[in-house]
Amino acid sequence: MPRLRTVLTPLAVAVAAGTLAATGVAPATAAAPAATGTVEVAPMTGCASLSSNSPGRARIQNICNHRINATVSVDWAWDPPCVSIKAKGSAVVTWDSTKGRAEYAYEC
C-alpha cells in the first residue's frame, strides 16, 4: 500500500492543481521558510484578467507592471491569437461570435 500512496498522492495534487487552473482559481504556494521558522505564503496569480466578455469579443486587462502577451480561452473553438498588452493596459480580442464567449484570459 505505501508504494500505491506514493504514486497516487502526486497524481492527486497534479489533478487538483489542473482543476483549479482550469476554473481560473490559482492555489497558493509556499515560499522558503523565513528566519523565524515560519513559512510565508505567496499567492500565484497571472497578469491577464478578463474584464469584459460578450460573444465574439473580450477585453483583457493586464494587472501587472510589465508587458505581457495574452489571449482568452473560447468555448468550443480555437483561441484567438495572443496580443501584446502594456503594463496596466488592456486589449480587445475578437473571434467568430457563433463560437461563443470567452471562458477566461491567460498569458501566452
The predicted structure's pLDDT at residue 76:
78
Q: Where are the domains of the chain?
A: 2-43, 48-107
* pLDDT 10s digits, 46-94: 899 999 999 999 999 999 999 999 999 998 778 999 999 999 999 999 9
Is residue 107 over pLDDT 90?
yes
- Please answer whether residues 91 and 80 qualify as being in contact, where contact means their C-beta atoms are separated by less than 8 angstroms: no
Q: Which CATH number fits domain 48-107: 3.40.1350, 3.30.2010, 2.60.40, 1.20.120?
A: 2.60.40
The predicted structure's pLDDT at residue 48:
95
* pLDDT 10s digits, 14-39: 555 555 455 555 444 444 444 555 44
Is residue 10 over pLDDT 80?
no
Q: How far is CA 34 from CA 27, 40, 100, in A?
A: 20, 7, 47
Residues 48, 71: Cα–Cα separation, whole Å: 8
Q: Cell numbers 510565508 label which residue?
A: 40
pLDDT band at 1 (very low <50, low <70, confident <90, very high): very low
Residues 86, 68: Cα–Cα separation, whole Å: 7
- Which DSSP helix (H) or strand (E) runs through 22? helix 2-22
